[in-house]
Amino acid sequence: MASSAAFFLLAVAALHVCCCRGQGRDGGAVAAIYSLGDSITDTGNLAKEAPPGAFETIKHLPYGVTFGRPTGRCSDGLLMIDFLAHDMGLPFLNPYLAKNTSFDHGVNFAVAGATAMDPADQSNRTFSLKLQLRWFKDFMKSTFDTDEGNSKNFFPLITVSQPQCTLCFQRSGILILYVKFVRAEIRKRLQSSLVLVGEIGGNDYNYALFGNKSVSEVEKLIPAVVQTIIDATKEVLDMGASRVIVPGNFPIGCFPSYLTAMASPEQSAYDSAGCLKDLNLFAAKHNAQLQRAVAGLRSSYPDAAIAYADYFNSFLSLLKGAPALGFDENSTHTACCGAGGRYNYDERRMCGVEGTAACADPSAYVSWDGIHMTQAAYKEMSRLIYHGRYLQPQILSFPE
């Protein structure tokens, strides 16, 4: 039996693990990037997981045309995550479901079509944030924790009167502090890494809105979606992450898919940028709740660097400055690849199927297929966010 002195030292060490999370404010180099999310970030997971015949369009040209070949990315080329990795001096992130590939500098767990919340209909196979988080944990354990010993268990460490940790319970009137054992190797790796939790949640709303639910009905989902994102972020931080970025949603009322599906005969429904006001107000409500929740995380995890990535206002900035950035000012709301119509978008004939065509110069367009952006737009978005004022606060430093 361990001596009382030894037990006290173990308790103090474990309390430090629980309450002193993340040591990433020193500006140390980022050794790896781990990403959770949806099609905005997916570098090939859906294409590798989908059975033959499903999601065939993203597996073939014109997807990837600017890159030179299809990669499973929902664009003509690279994504924001690719530009971020490049700017940090790291290789592009390989998808988690890829075989015989390197994960030395990070892993991409994002899956196109993924939702934040688990689907109510369990027969609908959706790659939710919960599943991606499980992949993340499994990867970290299998790669950096080969000891199967204590890593599965909770065990009592110390009694406390004013607990600062949420992992506590009461027994016989005494509060007992419990801490999940996290291997030092995992914590060390995460403290030299960057973790992106999203963008995610957009599809929860997309599926509902395109399922004929009203904007006011879908607004009721916002608190649950935001809480799911925050809960996942807490788990990442509890594992030892010291740098975490949580992105918000885009101004979806500016996207060709929504501009087509929810077109209004009333000019008053549109703002000065030609976007649908109600949809952008909805996205702004999601972002406001998410920002408040992220601010709460900073209070709970003072030793971690936690930033909110403002996709909403950075995208509006891109639209406003589109001509100066080399985009065709007459095509900022038009898909490069599609099947005609005012916005070159038809949900019955998506980019890549028979009867659709891609524009000659994707770099002149903001939207690739009506839902996702072009490589040129993603590059500009990455610059605005990660090198500009739309990462709040700025927690990244880039090599010269």
Burial degree of 341 (CB within 10 A; 0-12, 13-18, 19+): middle
Please tell me the predicted confidence (pLDDT) of residue 155.
36
- Is 398 contained in some domain? no
Same domain, 96 and 18: no
Q: One-letter amino acid identity for 267?
A: Q
Question: Two tokens at 203?
Answer: 């599809």
Domain presence at residue 384: yes
Contact indicator for 110, 41 with CB cutoff of 8 Å: yes
20 — pLDDT class (breaks 50, 70, 90)? very low
In this structure, the answer to whether residues 242 and 322 fall within a common structural domain is yes
**CA distances (Å), origin 28, targets 23, 90, 121, 194, 395:** 10, 14, 44, 11, 11
Under 8 Å CB-to-CB from 334, ≥6 apart: which residues?
256, 342, 343, 344, 365, 367
Q: Is 99 in the same domain as 13? A: no
pLDDT above 50: residue 185: yes
Task: Read off the pLDDT band of 240 (50, 70, 90).
Answer: very high
Residue 397, domain member (yes or no) = no
Domain end among 182, 198, 232? 182
Same-domain check for residues 165 and 39: no
Identity of residue 285: K
Closest by CA position to 198, among listed 128, 258, 255? 128
Whether residues 92 and 126 share a domain: the answer is yes
Over residues 76-121, the pLDDT tens digits come to 999 999 999 999 999 999 999 998 899 999 999 999 999 999 987 5
Q: What is the pLDDT of residues 114-155, one digit of tens each?
A: 999 998 754 455 799 999 999 999 999 999 976 544 444 333
Q: Per-residue pLDDT averaged across 162-169, rounded?
A: 45
To 5 degrees, how large is the angle CA 256–CA 257–CA 260?
80
Decide if 156 is inside a domain. Answer: yes
**59-90 as b/e, with b when 16 or more CB fall inside 10 Å?**
beebbbbbeeebbbbbbbbbbbbbbbbeebeb
Mean pLDDT of 153-179: 44
Contact 24, 305 (CB under 8 A): yes
| Element housing 179 (H / E) | strand 174-180
Q: Looking at the domain assignment, is residue 343 inside a domain?
A: yes
Distance CA 238, CA 17 (A): 9
- 156 and 203 inside one domain: no
Among residues 39, 242, 314, 382, which one is catalytic? 39
Give CA–CA dist 381/343, Å, rounded: 21
Q: What does pTM read for this prediction?
A: 0.85
Dump pLDDT digits (tens) for 296-350. 999 999 999 999 999 999 999 999 999 999 999 999 999 999 999 999 999 999 9
Residue 286 counted as domain residue: yes
* CA 190 – CA 161 distance, rounded (Å): 31
For residue 39, indicate whether it is catalytic: yes
Helix (H, G, I), strand (E, B) or coil at 35: strand
Q: What is the pLDDT of the chain when averaged over all its residues? A: 87
Examine the domain organization and report whether 301 and 170 are in the same domain: no
215 and 301 in a single domain? The answer is: yes
Same domain for 159 and 120: no
Residues pairing with 306 in the sheet: 244
Count up the domains in the chain and report the number.
2
* Domain end residue (candidates: 135, 162, 182): 182
User: Is residue 64 domain-shared with residue 212, that is, in the same domain?
Assistant: yes
Helices (H), the chain: 4-19, 45-49, 80-87, 129-144, 184-191, 202-209, 215-219, 222-238, 256-261, 277-300, 311-320, 375-386
Q: How far does CA 349 lie from the centroid of its chain?
A: 27
Kindly report, residue by residue over 21-65, the tens digit of the pLDDT. 322 344 578 999 999 999 999 999 999 987 776 688 999 999 999
What mean pLDDT do residues 204-227 have? Answer: 97
Tokens for 17, please give them. Answer: 């693990």
Q: Are residues 166 and 310 in the same domain?
A: no
The kind and range of the H/E element at 338 are strand 337-338
Q: Within a domain: residue 217?
A: yes
Domain containing residue 300: CATH number = 3.40.50.1110
Element at 178 (helix H, strand E): strand 174-180
Q: What is the pLDDT of residue 55?
A: 80
Is 399 part of any domain? no
Decide which of 182, 202, 237 is a domain's last residue.
182
- Cα separation, 293 vs 63, whole angstroms: 36
Domain of 21? 1-27+152-182
CA distance 343 to 338: 9
161 & 306 share domain: no
CA distance 46 to 52: 12
